[in-house]
A and B are shown apart, each in its own frame.
Chain A
């Protein structure tokens, strides 16, 4: 049986966090529903200036509109809560701006369905694309995150710890639920998963061009993310105490 057919038998909640992303979200939800009956898109409108309307989304899509911008960490928690309450077997996250190929979701689920992993990261092979100083700084920050994540997890964390395209098994959801996920939570989530003893693996994907909206990661937020990650790093060192670096 193919991974896609297996996933269709089990239920997959596909989280689509959206912030001012409009039309691309509906297209993404349609693409998720086209994967099979077991796939349920969950759109979380994270305080968009023009809130998403249910009628603009295809039938079978869950929509929660947050009255304020709470961040992707909270959106992820909402998806985890819902998956556990409603008995979903897996949670997949794809970005609402259309950068993640929805047709690769079954590939992301394959290692979990084969019992090889609890958490699968969609590792972007073309993440270093771009131009200018912005590209240089971004790549430098990503290299730093990756190096620190690798150090904290003894090389178990994926190289692309900033990817927002991931799949989690029910076991991973239950374990990660207790982690306080913050705004831009990806590095924190992957590091925590490794340190909680979850099996983390990667599937290579090609990131697409943004079809709608713009990144919410401006300079101030990038600095805040950098600060937060370093605090998280320090906290992990303090918590692990004598056992650091992680074995």
Chain B
């Protein structure tokens, strides 16, 4: 019950952030998937058992902890990639703006000379 409640709170927080436009809808998808995966793992003892075997850990809770850290790392990486792409676009846009602005100034100088 407590596990389901945690996932529901996370989902509510996620929807609240989206509604207040604090996170962009395109960037929010990996986080949404992460909450769904975590919810599934938290509420499915069979998955825990499989994870315990794969990760060779003594207690099921450690398996969930490892999985959470793994997802967190994945999310941070996904956000880094998105921010990097946006930064590259921003720089290209700035260079485009500069090209137009400076070409206009050159044309003004040429106009004054003639």
Contact = CB atoms under 8 A, between A and B. Distances in A.
Interface of A: 42, 44, 60, 62-64, 66-67, 70, 74, 77-78, 81-82, 85-86
Interface residues of B, number: 11
A168 B79 CA distance: 37
Contact of B95 (A63, A81, A86): A81
A86 B109 contact: no
B46 interface: no
B98 A78 contact: yes
A228 B89 CA distance: 20
Contacts of B99: 78, 81-82, 85
Given A60-B109, A70-B91, A74-B91, A86 B103 contact: yes
Contacts of A66: 94, 98
Nearest to B99: A81
A85 B103 CA distance: 8
Contact of B102 (A60, A62, A70): A62
Interface of A is mostly: mixed
Given A74-B94, A81-B99, A85-B99, 18 more contacts: A62-B102, A62-B105, A62-B106, A64-B98, A64-B101, A66-B94, A67-B94, A70-B94, A74-B91, A77-B91, A77-B95, A78-B94, A78-B95, A78-B98, A82-B99, A82-B102, A82-B103, A86-B102
Given A70-B91, A74-B91, A82 B109 contact: no
A42 B109 CA distance: 13
Given A81-B99, A82-B99, A85-B99, A63 B105 contact: yes
A49 to B, nearest CB: 18
A194 B103 CA distance: 31
A48 to B, nearest CB: 15
Contacts of B105: 62-63
Contacts of B95: 74, 77-78, 81
16 contacts: A42-B102, A64-B98, A64-B102, A66-B98, A67-B94, A70-B91, A74-B91, A77-B91, A78-B95, A78-B98, A81-B98, A82-B98, A82-B99, A82-B103, A85-B103, A86-B103
Contacts of B109: 60
A21 B106 CA distance: 24
A60 B109 CA distance: 7
Contact of B106 (A44, A70, A86): A86
Contacts of A42: 102
Nearest to B103: A85
Nearest to A82: B102
Contacts of A63: 105
